[in-house]
Structure formats: C-alpha cells, structure tokens
C-alpha cells in the first residue's frame, strides 16, 4: 500500500514536463487570445521586393567620385531608419569613404550605437560629408571630418594620427573607400588609372592598418569592404575586381596574423548596391539605368541594408567572428 502513494521517477519527470510545456505555451495562448500589451513595439515586417526603388533609373553621370546627394533616387543610408541600441557604446571608429554609400551607412549606425566616429573622404565630397558629420553630432557623439586623398601614403599616416588624437584612441577601422571605373577593354586601362585604383583600394588599407596597428587594443575590429566582384568579376571591371579579391585575401591573412593579439579582421562583400560608384564611372550607362534588376529582388540594395552587418562585425558580441566575409547581394552573389 505504501508504494501506491509514491510517484515513480518516470511519473515525476512526465508531470514536470507537462507543467513546463504548459508554461511555455502560455504566451502563445495569450497571443492567440489577443491579450497583447498595448505598448508592444514589435517590428513590422517589410517586403524586401518592394522596400526600395527599382530600375529603370535615369542616366545621371557625374565626375568621379560623385555626390550621392545629387543622385536620383538618393541612396538610403539609414538616415531616418536606423535605430541604435548601444552595441558600440564608447567605441572609437575610423571609416574611409564615410561620406556616402556603405561608409556613410556604417558611420550613421556606429554613432547611433554609441561610437565616436572619424570619417575620411575626397575633398570634393565635402557636401555629403557635412551631412554625415551633422548626423553623428545629433546623436551626441564626437564627429571628426578628415578630407584627403588616400592615394598618398603621407596623408594615410596623417589620417590615422589625427583620428587617434581627435577621438582619443581607435578600436574600429573600416577600410571602405574604393575607386571603381568601368572600362570595357584592358587595352584602354591606362597605367595612371590602374595605379589610382590600386592605391585607393589596396595601398591605402595597407598604409592605414600598418600605421594604426600599434595603437589598437585587444578587442579591436578591422573591417574591409570587398565585393561580389571578388568571386564573380565583371569583364569591364578588370582593375576594380582584382582589388576586391585582394581585399578578401588580406582579411583572411590578417585575421590569422592578428588573432593572437585579440584583434579581429572581417569583410563585407556587397552585391549591386546603389551608391555614387555607379554614376561616377563605375558602370556603363545602360547597366547603371537597369542597375540591380538581375537580383532576385529585381532591384539594387541600399547602403542602409548593410549597416547592421558593419555593426555586427565591430560589436564585442561577435568575438568569435574573424577571417569572415559577410555577403549581401539580393540572392545572386557569393559568399
């Protein structure tokens, strides 16, 4: 009779499991019964196919390097949409090409995540850069504008030193600035053009990282902007595409070299994203007008759609991500 009043171990486990299942299901029942907190701030889903403008776009050539503020449509870099949550509070970032495109999107996102930001840009891009500086300051963060030509080694050294001085240190470097010129035949690529592309896209990150490295503490992050061109090069981007393959390579090489020092190195590989690169010689006119139409979303990406990737790769909670290349290409590119 005594055993009749005792529960077996199996009965206890089964009963506990039933109880836990009921507790876990309770929120679902509440949702089904419409018992939802009226202050709920749930994010509404957006259809990525209709979220941003689709081609055709009007022909709108500009001299290199172009101003995104004069583009139609103007690229969305998250000026009104990106919401921060303090993921980079107290961090100090240097971003090249921070006036427009992915660099601008990263700068805005970093500031809204709590970082102080220095941006570099070509002097003729001052109008776009001023907008970014104002947006960073609006978040109560320190903003430093450092115009100059990355093709010059001496300037790259000065860039790092000024960022260090003005921000009081550095722990994020985003090598984003790039030169892209569409030229159909290698026979038409001049030595001067080839040299300008290599110096902007490959030499500048080398000079910047080398100068900054002695000052980067463990926990720092270096991020390079590579491209789907590293994996699937277009015939008219002979010079540009090989620099993006080199960027992918230095990300993986430096990740191995700097990992023991506690410094992570990663890359972002955009597919067709609507930036000033396309309208300032980076795409043939007919390709620019239909830019991004070949993706699964039938449109180009917007820089704002990559901002969270730059944040993730810089954030401390991504501490095991190094030597990685994160892609965003609308379903058509690699990785």
* Six-digit token string for 190: 């001049």
145 beta partners:
119
Please choose, from the candidates 254, 256, 307, the residue with its C-alpha nearest in 3D space to the C-alpha of residue 112: 307
- Residues labelled as active-site residues: 240
Query: Is residue 66 a contact partner of residue 126, using CB atoms and an 8 Å limit?
Result: no
Residue 115 CA to residue 244 CA, distance in Å, equals 27
The angle formed by the CA atoms of residues 185, 294 and 189, to the nearest 5 degrees, is 15
Query: Is residue 306 a contact partner of residue 325, using CB atoms and an 8 Å limit?
Result: no
Give the helix/strand (H/E) hosting 119: strand 116-121
* Six-digit token string for 288: 């620019």
Using H for helix, E for strand and C for coil, what is the string for 266-326? EEEEECCECCHHHHHHHCCHHHHHCCCCCCCCCCCECHHHHHHHHHHHHCHHHCCCCCCEE
3-state secondary structure at position 246: helix
Residue 101 CA to residue 98 CA, distance in Å, equals 8
* Six-digit token string for 44: 């509404």
**189 contact partners, CB below 8 Å, separation of at least 6:** 183, 238, 239
Please choose, from the candidates 133, 229, 212, the residue with its C-alpha nearest in 3D space to the C-alpha of residue 178: 229
């Amino acid at each position: 009779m005594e055993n009749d009043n005792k529960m077996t171990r199996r009965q206890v486990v089964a009963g506990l499991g039933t109880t836990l299942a009921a507790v876990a299901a309770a929120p679902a029942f509440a949702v089904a019964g419409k018992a939802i907190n009226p202050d709920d701030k749930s994010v509404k889903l957006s259809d990525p196919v209709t979220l941003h403008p689709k081609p055709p776009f009007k022909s709108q050539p500009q001299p290199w390097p172009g101003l995104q503020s004069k583009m139609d449509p103007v690229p969305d870099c998250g000026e009104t949409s990106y919401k921060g949550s303090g993921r980079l509070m107290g961090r100090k970032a240097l971003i090249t090409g921070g006036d427009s495109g992915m660099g601008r999107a990263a700068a805005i996102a970093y500031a809204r995540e709590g970082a102080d930001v220095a941006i570099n840009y070509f002097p003729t891009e001052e109008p776009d850069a001023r907008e970014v500086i104002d947006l960073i300051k609006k978040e109560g963060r320190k903003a430093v504008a450092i115009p100059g030509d990355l093709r010059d080694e001496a300037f790259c050294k000065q860039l790092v030193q000024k960022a260090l001085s003005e921000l009081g240190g550095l722990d994020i470097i985003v090598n984003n600035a790039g030169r892209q010129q569409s030229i159909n035949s290698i026979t038409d690529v001049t030595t001067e053009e080839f040299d300008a592309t290599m110096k902007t896209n490959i030499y500048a990150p080398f000079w910047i990282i080398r100068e900054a490295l002695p000052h980067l503490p463990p926990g720092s992050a270096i991020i390079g902007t590579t491209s789907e061109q590293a994996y699937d090069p277009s015939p008219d981007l002979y010079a540009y595409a090989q620099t993006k393959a080199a960027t992918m390579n230095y990300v993986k090489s430096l990740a191995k070299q700097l990992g023991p020092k506690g410094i992570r190195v990663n890359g972002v590989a955009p597919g067709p994203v609507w930036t000033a690169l396309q309208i300032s010689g980076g795409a043939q006119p007919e390709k620019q007008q239909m830019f991004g139409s070949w993706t699964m979303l039938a449109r180009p990406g917007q820089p704002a759609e990559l901002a969270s990737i730059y944040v993730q790769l810089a954030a401390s909670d991504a501490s095991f991500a190094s030597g990685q290349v994160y892609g965003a290409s609308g379903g058509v590119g690699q990785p």
